[in-house]
Amino acid sequence: MPIFLACALGMIATIPFQFLSLEHLKLEKKFGKEKGTKIGELMGIISGWSFFIFWIGIWLSPQPRFRIQILGDIAITFLVIKISVPILHVILGIPLLLIGGWLGILGVKELSLRVSETRRPIRIVKTGIYSHVRHPQYLGGLLAHVGITLLLSAFYSLIYTPILMIIIYIIAQKEEKELINEFGEEYEEYRKKVPMFIPRIRTQK
């Protein structure tokens, strides 16, 4: 529990720094364009990677194991981590992990690794996966989180999921607010056409 709590609180503690790293115009106004850009990019990299490291800590911290009892006691034992995983967890978890990872990779590919790390876009990306959802990396992260949680049967990680969803939504909202400040009507139009997280079944004509 202490390690889990430290990681959970650490993840929450990164939010103000992530917010500040997104305020590109405010940082440039306060420190000048060149210095403000560097400060924002550095804060983006540090807060983003810290968030991800704490996220991994939530998965791997010592915690009770849960079991979905639908297919009885059938389980698979992973010798590397020495955990016996119910077969249903594997059936559900692996696809979610693969889809989440795929969405994350597509998002980084379209946006570029540097923009993903620094959170400083030079244009609005509307192609590829970004033509279906506005935040594919966050969506992928959430799906992968559920997949890993199932594969590890990690109880604390499971109950933390709703809080994680709220955290990601808050960060995504802040990102969009700053994108509107920087790109104005162009981003507003993009928001109207493309959903935040859940793709539309039918495309708009």
> Which residue matches tokens 């493309």?
194
Check residue 68 and give its pLDDT: 83
Write out the DSSP string of 123-192. S---SGGGGT-S-HHHHHHHHHHHHHHHHHTBHHHHHHHHHHHHHHHHHHHHHHHHHHHHHTHHHHHHHH
Question: pTM for the full model?
Answer: 0.89
pLDDT at 203 over 90: no
pLDDT at 3 over 90: yes
154-199, pLDDT tens digit by residue? 999 999 999 999 999 999 999 999 999 999 999 999 999 999 999 8
70-118, pLDDT tens digit by residue? 766 666 666 555 677 888 898 999 999 999 999 999 999 998 888 888 8
Q: Which of 7, 1, 5, 113 is nearest to 50 (CA)?
A: 7
**What mean pLDDT is reported for the chain?**
90
Phi/psi of residue 75, each to 5°?
-145, 160
CA-CA distance, 123 to 171, in Å (whole number)? 19
185-197, pLDDT tens digit by residue? 999 999 999 999 9
Check residue 99 and give its pLDDT: 97
CA-CA distance, 38 to 44, in Å (whole number)? 10
CA-CA distance, 44 to 47, in Å (whole number)? 5
Structure tokens at 112: 């570029």
